[in-house]
Amino acid sequence: MSFREDFSWGAASAAYQVEGAAVEDGRTWSVWDMMCRKPGAIYQNENGDVACDHYHRFKEDVALMKQIGLKSYRFSLSWPRILPEGIGKINFKGIEFYNNLINELLANGIEPYVTLFHWDFPLKLYRQGGWLNLASPQWFADYTGVVVEHFSDRVSNWMTLNEPQCFIGGGIINGHHAPGDKLELSQALLAAHHSLLAHGRAVRVIREQAKTKPFIGYAPVGVVKVPATETAADIEAARTSMFRMTDESYWNNTWWMDPVFLGRYPEDGLHIYGEKAPKATSEELAIISTPLDFCGANIYNGRETTVGPQGQPVDAPRYQGFPMTAMDWPIVPQSLYWGPKFLYERYNMPVFITENGIANCDWVSLDGRVHDPQRIDFTHRYLRELRRAAVDGVDVRGYFHWCLMDNFEWTFGYNRRFGLVHVDFRDQTRTIKDSATWYKTVIESNGKCL
């Protein structure tokens, strides 16, 4: 067995990073529009006002997807474009945009995978406390109801939240991401709990109201540990380390995944957070763990793990000059083997790689093309590992490359390029990179050429 015949080969994006049209046709600001106005918060004080102008150029972009041979496209919806007040009145111009995008995808044989929330929380609701407000799960459920009502006749693949570790940890613990707050840990954990409740409420709304049979998942960051050597001892150290918490850091899997897939917060996390942990009732945990159809994971790298002097898992030393991407993220292809494998073992759910990719130093060459051999090699190495997982019996259903095109890379502004398609932000010219042409051959052979 290699990749399944119906393997979902795709690329991903997120609304605020690509759409632009920030104040057009009734959209209001999200916390990210606000964040971009904080002097110094973003590289060169850039913002997503125009981004890739995908709002106006989606047809051209879908044509590019078709040219690359994508079978599926993961994108997120902008909550404040659909509901300018966050709740209540629907903005039908926003609905129309997504209807057109979905129809264009389907007309080109590309399956939509819709993420409900990729960080652009409506500013108006943030001003009422954001995820700290007890009503936030209800707000999210209502928003989901509107989405399902309008799109579920044609969309059946859903993801609720993208990377809660980042919008809670980065957003309200260290303040690096929008909305840029630094809350006390107990407050942040309460907000996190509400976001998990919002997830569960959304799953129920989709299940109850979808017009076509839904297929629902969740897209946290997979914080991956890989064995430093493939010995039984290191494998066990990596497995243990991947699913344990040793300090208050939000950078872990289990605090965000155990409640969703196992219906409980992890014991070690509860012990570490102590009084700061939310007092979750069994009813709440039942909502949070409403059954899903798949486990998504955004995986870019991993940490090599070995056995320490007391027998405990420890980070293995890295050699000098370890390969790094333009984000300064380590290149660890085995993370696409061990990540899905460990997640599958623990949660027993089909796995989708909902994001994976590399920021690289790309520009248009003298010959008018964009040569990005590093991205090809990176993706080649990672996909071979993912194939190894599939061969070893992990139920891997899909892979979404991050990103379809260069875009607004959050605090890095336009200074980091993750795309399969190059975007010249002076005039929005798109150029298919060599990696996109290569990815097409991978898709056509269903990964056999890897």
* Chain residues 11-70 in contact with ligand BGC, contact rule CB under 6 A: 14, 17
Q: Which is nearer to ligand BGC, 250 or 418 (CB)?
A: 418
Cα separation, 83 vs 447, whole angstroms: 40
19 is catalytic: no
Residue 319 Cβ vs ligand BGC, minimum distance, rounded to whole Å: 25
Give the one residue of 284, 355, 372, 406 binding ligand BGC; rule: CB under 6 A: 355
- 10 Å CB burial of residue 449 (0-12, 13-18, 19+) is exposed
Per rule CB under 6 A, count of chain residues that contact ligand BGC? 10
Per rule CB under 6 A, is residue 166 in the interface with ligand BGC? Answer: yes
Amino acid at the residue 331: I
Mark the segment that binds ligand BGC (CB under 6 A) among 161-169, 196-204, 251-259, 360-368: 161-169
Mark the segment that binds ligand BGC (CB under 6 A) among 59-67, 162-170, 312-320, 340-348: 162-170
Cα separation, 151 vs 113, whole angstroms: 11
Amino acid at the residue 304: E
Give the one residue of 402, 414, 438, 439 binding ligand BGC; rule: CB under 6 A: 402
85 is catalytic: no
Maximum distance among all alpha carbons in the chain?
62
Residue 299 Cβ vs ligand BGC, minimum distance, rounded to whole Å: 10
Active-site residue identified among 19, 104, 304, 355: 355
Are 440 and 51 in contact, with CB atoms under 8 Å apart? no
Give the one residue of 115, 160, 162, 290 binding ligand BGC; rule: CB under 6 A: 162
Residue 118 Cβ vs ligand BGC, minimum distance, rounded to whole Å: 6
> Cα-Cα-Cα-Cα dihedral of 406, 140, 163, 42, to 10°?
50
Residue 224 Cβ vs ligand BGC, minimum distance, rounded to whole Å: 13
Cα separation, 240 vs 220, whole angstroms: 19
- DSSP line for 55-121: HHHHHHHHHHHHHHT-SEEEEE--HHHH-TTSSSS--HHHHHHHHHHHHHHHHTT-EEEEEEESS--
- Residues noted as catalytic: 163, 355
Instruction: Please give the residue ranges that form the binding site for ligand BGC (CB under 6 A).
Output: 14, 17, 162-163, 166, 298, 355, 402, 409, 418
